[in-house]
Amino acid sequence: MALTDRERQIVGLLRGNPMMSSDAIAERLGSTRAAVNVHLSNLGKKGVILGRGYLLAEQPGVVVVGGANMDIKARSAARAVPGTSNPGRAAMSPGGVGRNIAENLARLGTRVYLVAAVGRDPLGDMLIRETADAGVHLDHVYRTATATGTYTAVLDRDGELVVAVSDMAATAELGPAQVDAARDVICSAELLVLDGNLAAETLSYARNLAASAGVRTVIEPVSVPKAAMLAAIPGLFDRAHPVYLITPNRDEVTALTGLPAGSDTELRAAAAALHASGVTYVWIRLGAAGSLLSGPNGAHRIPAGRAAVVDVTGAGDALLGAFCHALLGGADPIDAARFGHAAAALTIASEETVRRDLTPRLVASALASAPAARPGSAPAAPPGSAPAAAPSAVPARPTAAAPPRRTTASHHTSTQERTA
């Protein structure tokens, strides 16, 4: 069930007000009542709206395929000293790149399904219970005899990662068969988000399934080794069926393209190479300097706002989850990126990997004081500050900022990874 851009805009408006008249929709979109009625008729035929009042069918807005595990975070009370015991405190909570993105989406109000692999053990039971309580649909989570994955991170007193150890054996068991079992929800989604922690064959199978159904695909590379793996997957990037969005940082975009990404000119050249290979939008995370969003209408710098760093864990997952939420709400990609930056800034100002109080209103409030995106380059934020976000006009949705680096439990590999 592929929707046109105009149909997606109408669905975004109807999410906010199912009783909106065709005249009101036409006015909001700068269109005519007759044209809107044609789109509404087509949405009815596609099963997206039901009956009077344009009630939306219960189709998934987003399907996320990726890692789900338990995060164990230990934080030193003082500057961490290697090779010895450090006083501090520890906590456990559900994590995993894919799972975190899904929870952020659910807390923002987007209908989201998670496809993941979790052990049949007490940690798996805890992960399932708490993720379901957050509003994520778990019909397609695969329970395996392998122990639920864990990500153990040691943080310095300032919230930055010192060292991490990940056990992703359960996620490695998520294969094409488990993805195929979720075929119906994937093919009826508006967006498919793929976590780079997936095995190459799994990622490729999910991507091809979405492409065959006309579903837009978003790929989160996660780390340099995983980005290099993505670049080596035959047919993953296909100009005939473009990937909608990929979200690397500087090092990851180099791993994806083989091109340097130090200067602004080099960043744009690397983005252009990905466009040529079959990627519509390239969103390069630049830490405290914000991000560069490159697409059909050119490249735009999205500045990062400032937020006190409490814990960078999960900031990048909030960034992408909020982007997807705003996009489905009718925002253009630039405004959706601002919205994502604002959610990320809120996340790094919290000890929680996913803020339990995250709402569109909270993100919109954070966004209101953020700087605007512009086509030129943006200066880096002062040292010690964290990205917050640029102002945006996301219809009845949140908007957000980006964190400095995604170096913690937000990404689950043995290599240090970015926080934004």
Q: According to DSSP H, which parts of 92-199 are helical?
A: 97-108, 122-133, 169-172, 176-180, 183-187
pTM for this predicted structure: 0.77
Q: If pLDDT is split at 50, 70 and 90, which confidence band does 363 have?
A: very high
Pairing of strands 291-295, 279-285: antiparallel
Q: If pLDDT is split at 50, 70 and 90, which confidence band does 384 have?
A: very low
Q: According to DSSP H, which parts of 80-121 are helical?
A: 97-108
Please count the helices (runs of H) and the strands (runs of E) in the chain.
15, 15
**pLDDT beyond 60 at 395:** no
CB atoms inside a 10 Å sphere around CB 88: 16
Q: Could you tell me if 119 and 147 are in contact, meaning their C-beta atoms sit under 8 angstroms apart? A: yes
| Per-residue confidence (pLDDT) for residue 67, from 0 to 100 | 95
Distance CA 368, CA 363 (A): 9
In this predicted model, what pLDDT tens digit does every residue of 66-84 receive, in sequence order?
A: 999 999 989 899 999 999 9
Mean pLDDT of 22-40: 91
In this predicted model, what pLDDT tens digit does every residue of 334-345 receive, in sequence order?
A: 999 999 999 999
As a whole number, the mean pLDDT across the chain is 85
What is 366-420 written as a DSSP string? HHTTSPPPBSS--PPPPTT-B--------TTS------S-B-STTS-SSS---B-
| Per-residue confidence (pLDDT) for residue 4, from 0 to 100 | 85
Pick the closest to residue 96 from 189, 172, 207, 183 (CA basis): 172
Q: Please state, for a pLDDT cut of 90, what percent of the chain lies above it.
A: 64
Distance CA 128, CA 138 (A): 8
**pLDDT beyond 70 at 37:** yes
**pLDDT beyond 70 at 352:** yes
* Burial of residue 231 (number of CB atoms within 10 Å: 0-12, 13-18, 19+): middle
Higher pLDDT, 299 or 15: 299
**pLDDT beyond 80 at 373:** no
Which single residue is written with the structure tokens 């050119």? 298
Q: If pLDDT is split at 50, 70 and 90, which confidence band does 239 have?
A: very high
Q: If pLDDT is split at 50, 70 and 90, which confidence band does 42 have?
A: confident
| Per-residue confidence (pLDDT) for residue 305, from 0 to 100 | 64
In this predicted model, what pLDDT tens digit does every residue of 135-157 receive, in sequence order?
A: 999 999 999 999 999 989 898 88
Q: Could you tell me if 118 and 128 are in contact, meaning their C-beta atoms sit under 8 angstroms apart? A: yes
Mean pLDDT of 115-128: 96
Q: Look at residue 167 and give its three-state secondary structure.
A: strand
Q: If pLDDT is split at 50, 70 and 90, which confidence band does 127 have?
A: very high
Pairing of strands 112-119, 279-285: unpaired
In this predicted model, what pLDDT tens digit does every residue of 242-287 receive, in sequence order?
A: 999 999 999 999 999 999 999 999 999 999 999 999 999 999 999 8
**pLDDT beyond 50 at 411:** no
Distance CA 201, CA 143 (A): 20
Q: Which helix (H) or strand (E) holds 163?
A: strand 161-167
Say if 5-56 and 62-367 have the same CATH topology.
no
**pLDDT beyond 80 at 288:** yes
| Per-residue confidence (pLDDT) for residue 391, from 0 to 100 | 30
Mean pLDDT of 400-415: 33
| Per-residue confidence (pLDDT) for residue 43, from 0 to 100 | 83
Q: Which residues contact 216 (CB under 8 A, 6 or more apart)?
A: 190, 191, 192, 210, 244, 245
Q: Choose the CATH number for 62-367 among 3.40.1190.20, 3.40.50.300, 3.30.1240.10, 1.10.640.10.
A: 3.40.1190.20
Q: Look at residue 70 and give its three-state secondary structure.
A: strand
Mean pLDDT of 111-140: 95
* Domain definitions of the chain by residue range: 5-56, 62-367
Poorest-pLDDT segment among 104-113, 221-230, 370-379: 370-379
Q: Choose the CATH number for 5-56 among 3.30.230.10, 1.10.10.10, 3.40.50.1000, 3.40.50.150.
A: 1.10.10.10
